[in-house]
């Protein structure tokens, strides 16, 4: 039986190969063009990039007061600690050993932690109006207790509350997180 390619002159064969190659190339370009919006959507949106860091005015926060702000979609607890709270935080031993100095040594008056329980991700609530040794934060989901340094003193949480990257600006009146 005669090979179908032998029916056509070499010139026709070359033209057909060229057309096949061109069609395949157009197909690849089409797939890439269709996929681009999807791939591009994986990049951080402009508004997300815009909050890569936040600056918080802490000048009005008196000793003993705290506030919660958001950074990259996470709650951040900021507390202006009293001398008693700092003193107690320097004595308490936690499940996840870390000294208060290691966490907030650069300016112990200020506690800055990511307010997400390290057990299963609930948001703990501050235990206000308590003696410093009983204060800190309680995660109501399963009863984890974090002290006035944000360290876990009662599980099931396995780790202390995370400390984000932060720095003080403008003579310590503005806190920049991130
Ligand atoms: S999520 Fe906080 S104790 Fe379980």
Instruction: Examine the pLDDT at 5 and tell me if it is beyond 80.
Output: no
CA neighbor of 75 nearest in space, from 108, 110, 122, 120: 122
CB neighbourhood size of 53 (10 A)? 14
Is the CB–ligand 1 distance for residue 157 below 6 Å?
yes
Rounded to an integer, the average pLDDT of 53-68 is 94
Is the CB–ligand 1 distance for residue 138 below 6 Å?
no
CATH superfamily of 49-177: Rieske [2Fe-2S] iron-sulphur domain (2.102.10.10)
Token pair, residue 155, equals: 């599980």
Rounded to an integer, the average pLDDT of 35-41 is 55
pTM to 2 decimals?
0.71
Average pLDDT of the chain is 83
The alpha carbon of 120 and the centre of ligand 1 are apart by a number of angstroms equal to 5
Cis peptide before 46 (omega within 30 of 0): no
């Amino acid at each position: 039986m005669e090979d179908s390619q032998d029916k056509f002159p070499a010139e026709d064969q070359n033209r057909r190969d060229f057309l096949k190659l061109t069609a395949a190339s157009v197909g690849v370009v089409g797939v890439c063009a269709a996929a681009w919006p999807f791939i591009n959507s994986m990049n951080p949106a402009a508004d997300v990039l815009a909050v890569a860091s936040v600056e918080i005015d802490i000048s009005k926060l008196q000793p003993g007061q705290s506030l919660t702000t958001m950074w990259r979609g996470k709650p951040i607890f900021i507390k202006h600690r009293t001398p008693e709270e700092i003193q107690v935080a320097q004595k308490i031993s936690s499940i996840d050993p870390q000294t208060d100095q290691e966490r907030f040594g650069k300016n112990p008056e200020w506690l800055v932690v990511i307010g997400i329980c390290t057990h299963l991700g609930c948001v703990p609530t501050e235990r206000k109006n308590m003696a410093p040794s009983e204060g800190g934060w309680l995660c109501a989901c399963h009863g984890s207790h974090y002290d006035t340094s944000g360290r876990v003193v009662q599980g099931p949480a396995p780790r202390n509350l995370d400390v984000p990257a932060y720095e003080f600006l403008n003579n310590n009146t503005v806190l920049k997180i991130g």
